[in-house]
Structure 1
Amino acid sequence: AQSGGLVTQTLIYLMKKKEIRGALVVQGISIDDKYTTNAYIATTPDEIINSQHSKYIPTNLLVIAKKIEKLDYPIAVVGLSCHIHGLDNLINKNNRLIKNLKSNIKYKFGLICDGLFTYAAIDYFENKSKITKIYDLIFRDKHNNNYIDAYTNIKGRTNNYLLKNNHRFQLKEIIKPPRCKICFDKMNIFADISFGDPWGIEGYDKKLGDSLIITRNKKGNHLIDKMLKDGAITAKIVSYSEAVNGQKINFKKSEVLHFTEAYKSLGFKIPFVNEMIIKENNININANNKFKAQKYISTFLELNKKDRKKIIKYIEKKISFNLIINKIKYIINKLLRIIYEKH
Structure 2
Amino acid sequence: MKSVAEIRDNNLCCSCGICKNVCPANAIKYIRENGMFVPEISDVCVSCGKCYKVCPSVQHSYEKNNLHQAMVGNLKFAINAWSKDSDIRHFSASGGVITTIVEYLLSHDYYDYVFSVDTYNYHSQVKTNKYDKHSYNLNDISTQKYTKSRYIPVSHENLVDFIMNNSDSKVIIIATSCAVRGILNVIDKFKLNRNNYLLLGLFCDQVYNYNCWEYYSDMLFDNYGDISEFNFKNKDSGGWPGNMKFYFSDGKCVFKNKSERVKIKDYFKPERCVYCVDKLNVFADISLGDNYTDQNSSSLGSNSVIIRTNLGEKIFKLISETIDYERIDVDKICVAQYFDGRKKNYEFSLLKNSELNDNFQLNSVMDYEHNSNAASEYKTVLRNLHYGEIYPLNRKKLIKQIQKSGRKTNQLKRIFCALLRRLHNES
User: TM-score, normalization: structure 1?
Assistant: 0.84
Identify if the C-alpha distance between structure 1 residues 335 and 5 changes in structure 2 by more than 3 Å, giving closer, same or farther: closer
2:248 paired with 1:156 = yes
Question: Deviations 1:109-134 (Å, cap 9, x if unpaired)?
Answer: 10010111111111111111235532
- Which structure is higher in helix share? 1
The whole-number CA distance in structure 2 between the counterparts of 1:27 and 1:154 is: 16
For 1:108, give the aligned amino acid.
L
Match of 2:375 among 276, 282, 290: 290
Instruction: Give 1:87's aligned residue.
Output: 183
1:163-202 per-position Cα deviation (integer Å, ceiling 9, x unaligned): 2112211111222223112112111111111011112242
* Matched residue, 1:323: 406
Runs (5+) with no aligned partner, structure 2? 1-91
Distance in 2 between residues matched to 1:223 and 1:237, nearest whole Å:
16
> SS state of the match for residue 53, structure 1?
coil
Instruction: Say if 2:349 and 2:362, in contact at 8 Å, map to a contact too.
Output: no
Shift of 1:336: 7.0
More RCO (CA 8 Å, sep 6+): 2
- Percent identical among aligned pairs is 20
In 1, the alpha carbon distance for the partners of 2:326 and 2:419 equals: 41
Within the alignment, does 1:184 sit opposite 2:280 as a pair?
no
Mapped contact 2:285–2:307 kept (Cα < 8 A): yes
**SS of 1:140 mapped into structure 2:** strand
For residue 6 of structure 1, what is the aligned residue in structure 2?
A: 97
- Are the equivalent residues in 2 in contact too, given 1:29–1:38 (CA < 8 A)? no
1:311 and 1:51, CA in 2 relative to 1: closer, same or farther beyond 3 A? farther
Q: Does 1:122 align with 2:213?
A: yes
Q: What is the CA distance between 1:30 and its match in structure 2?
A: 4.2
SS in 1 for 2:291: coil
Check 1:342–1:256 CA distance in 2 against 1; reply closer, same or farther (3 A cut).
closer
Instruction: For 2:414 and 2:384, locate their aligned partners in 1 and report how far apart those are by CA, in whole Å.
Output: 30
State the AA in 1 paired with 2:292. Answer: W
| Aligned position for 2:337 | 247
State the Cα RMSD in Å: 2.8
SS in 2 for 1:236: strand
The secondary structure found in structure 2 opposite 1:174 is: coil
- Which letter does structure 1 place at the counterpart of 2:329? S
State the shift of 1:257 in Å.
2.5
- Aligned: 1:171 with 2:278: no
Unaligned stretches of 5+ residues in structure 1? none
Alignment of 1:224-235 (within 5 A): 224-228=316-320, 231-235=321-325
Structure 1 stretches of at least 4 aligned residues deviating more than 4 Å after TM superposition: 268-271, 331-343
Q: 1:50 aligns with which of 145, 161, 164?
A: 145
Distance 1:18 1:154, change over 3 A: same
Separation in 2, partners of 1:84, 1:341: 46
Q: Secondary structure at the match of 1:28?
A: coil
Q: Contact between 1:55 and 1:139, CA under 8 Å: does it hold in 2?
A: yes
| Preserved contact between residue 62 and residue 83 of structure 1 (Cα < 8 Å) | no
Alignment-derived partner of residue 261 in structure 1: 350
Q: 1:152, CA displacement in angstroms?
A: 0.9
- Alpha-carbon distance between aligned partners in 2 of 1:337 and 1:216, rounded to the nearest angstrom: 38
State the 1:4 CA deviation: 0.4
Asked whether the equivalents of residues 230 and 245 of structure 2 are also in contact (C-alpha less than 8 Å), the reply is yes
Deviations 1:279-313 (A, max 9, x none): x22x1231x23211123224524763x3x422444
Specify whether residues 122 and 312 from structure 1 end up closer, same or farther in structure 2 by C-alpha distance, changes over 3 A only.
farther
Cα distance, 1:57 vs. partner? 1.2
1:40 Cα deviation after fit: 0.7
- C-alpha separation in 2, matches of 1:2 and 1:102: 32
The structural deviation recorded for 1:315 is 3.2
Give the Å deviation of 1:318.
2.3
TM-superposed deviation, 1:250: 3.4
CA 1:181 to 1:159, structure 2 compared with 1: closer, same or farther past 3 Å?
same
Distance 2:266 2:212 in 1: 12
- Farther-moved stretch of structure 1 (5-14 vs 193-202): 193-202
Q: In the alignment, is the contact (CA less than 8 A) between 2:115 and 2:159 conserved in 1?
A: no
Aligned-residue offset at 1:264:
3.5
Residue identity opposite 2:374 in structure 1:
N
How many residue pairs align between the two structures? 325
Corresponding residue for residue 219 of structure 1: 311
Bigger mean CA offset, 76-85 vs 39-48? 39-48
Cα drift, residue 241 of structure 1:
1.8
In the other structure, the counterpart of 2:173 is 77
Return the offset for 1:242: 1.9
**Mean Cα displacement is larger for which, 118-127 or 265-274?**
265-274
